[in-house]
Amino acid sequence: MRVSQLFTKTSKNIPADEQAKNAQLLIRAGYIHKEMAGVYAYLPLGLRVLENIKRIVREEMNSVGGQELLMTTLQPRDIWGKTNRWDDEVVDNWFKTRLKNDTELGVGLTHEEPIVDALSSYVDSYKDLPLYVYQIAPKFRNELRAKSGILRGREFLMKDMYSFARTQAEHDELYEKAAEAYTRIFDRLGIGDRTYRTAADGGYFTERFSDEYQTISEVGEDTIYVDEAKKLAVNKEICTDENLVKLGLKREDLVEKRSVESGNIFPLESKYSDALGLYYTDEEGVRQSIIMGCYGIGISRVMGVLAEVFADGKGLVWPEAVAPFKVYLVNIGDVVNKTTDTYDRLQKAGVEVLWDDRETRPGEKFADADLLGIPYRVVVSERLGDKLELKARTGDKIEELNLDELLKHLA
């Protein structure tokens, strides 16, 4: 892709109506566009990041056997009535709308009910289980107050997976397998070292804990206590002596941190399956409850978390795995042919390149390379002769390489 063809532009001005660093930088760099409070559009560069995050999450969900599907945003009232989650007194952040004939509809804020309802057409026997299904889809929540830029919007992109097990033991296995996939996801996203599996409240209908994946960051809304050695944490909300004993943690080993909830997994027991009439028949011909688990990751939130956590004074810094492009190519002086050649060779080698082919001064290109947070910058210049310059976004070292050496480094 050439910068001259990209319709977005960078801006030197910080948007006045954004306080959150993630939104300020993402808007300045042209990754997102604010529609209204808590509602953001993803522009070409932002979409590429989002797709990269989705790809990683999707690969890991597939690796545990998750089957991807796509549920609807429009929701019928009746299935939510069966679990008592329709009333505004119970769930106060519904967006609701109506058909022309006045039938009430909900705008999906989560998908336990519709997924269970859909599966009930197909899952009848012990032979149909266990099962994981997931989707990556927008969620709509009518929050009283949107804040923190892309970290907490009214419309956001979420991956939600649901597991269906025949027994508690089978559920526990599925749950742990998904937890391991979560660890791999955060490692691949580059925030594994600062993301902790965190024991949290399991909800009013279960004695069990749920597990949040909390990423350490000052912008976070949660307070957690971290056991660095065990790589575990406890949410402040449940950090009682009794719970610490249950979790095998000692208070003196814990350090208090601010964090953002990047993902969360929790046991649902058979609350939804029972309520919606999803059962299976066992080998003896006896009807049994299905034990469910739920596994969420805020895809768009993760994008904001990455922006927050890695950005420096010059702008965004993307981990290579999610960066919209791997290389920001800059031509200085009369070197168009050589730059075209470099651009083509890199692309043929499978390296994603954003070529800043604008007729502007070098300083502006460098500043934009930094603001956009592309992992590597390659410079073609008369001054360099046959060599090219390679610089990582995060470092100061500049290497001078010929094209073959460069390809070896990047491909």
Torsion on CA atoms 98, 92, 76, 152, rounded to nearest 10: 90
- The residue (of 123 and 146) whose beta carbon lies closer to RNA is 146
Least distance to RNA from the beta carbon of 92, Å? 7
3-state secondary structure of 134: strand
Please report how close the Cβ of residue 337 comes to RNA at its closest, in angstroms.
16
Chain contacts with RNA (rule: CB under 7 A): 9-20, 36-38, 92-93, 139, 141, 143-148, 151-154, 156, 158, 212, 221, 261, 264, 296, 298, 300-301, 314, 332-333, 359-364, 366-371, 377, 379, 381, 383-384, 389, 391, 398
**Bridge partners of residue 205, in order along the sequence:** none
- Under a CB-based contact definition with an 8 Å cutoff, are residues 401 and 349 in contact? no
What is the smallest separation between the CB atom of 279 and RNA, expressed in angstroms?
27
- Rounded Cα distance, 64 and 279, in Å: 23
Residue 148 structure tokens: 């923190």
User: In DSSP terms, which residues pair with 147 in a beta bridge?
Assistant: 152
Q: Which is nearer to RNA, 123 or 378 (CB)?
A: 378
Name which of 290 and 379 has its Cβ closer to RNA: 379
* Least gap, CB of 142 to RNA (angstroms): 10
Q: How many CB atoms lie within 10 A of CB 95?
A: 15
If the CB atoms of residues 154 and 166 are measured against RNA, the closer one turns out to be: 154
Is the CB of 280 or the CB of 308 nearer to RNA? 308
**What does the alpha-carbon distance between residue 349 and residue 305 come to, in Å, rounded to a whole number?**
31
Minimal distance in Å, beta carbon 95 to RNA? 13
Query: Judged by CB, which is closer to RNA: 167, or 223?
Result: 223
Give the whole-angstrom CA distance, residue 31 versus residue 10: 9
User: Would you say 130 or 267 has its CB closer to RNA?
Assistant: 267
Number of Cβ within 10 Å of residue 302's Cβ equals 32
> Phi then psi for 26, rounded to 5 degrees?
-65, -35
Do 397 and 390 contact (CB within 8 A), yes or no?
no
- The nearer residue to RNA, 17 or 252, going by C-beta atoms, is 17
Contact 390, 405 (CB under 8 A): no
Q: Report the amino acid identity of residue 332.
A: I
The 8 Å CB, 24+ separation contacts for 172-179 are 174/130, 174/132, 174/293, 175/265, 175/267, 175/293, 177/64, 178/64, 178/132, 178/265, 178/293, 178/295, 179/211, 179/265
The residue (of 123 and 302) whose beta carbon lies closer to RNA is 302
Residue 237 half-sphere exposure toward CB, CA atoms < 13 A:
13
Residue 70: Cβ within 10 Å count:
9
Tokens, residue 194: 């600062």
Least separation, in Å, of the C-beta of 346 and RNA? 17
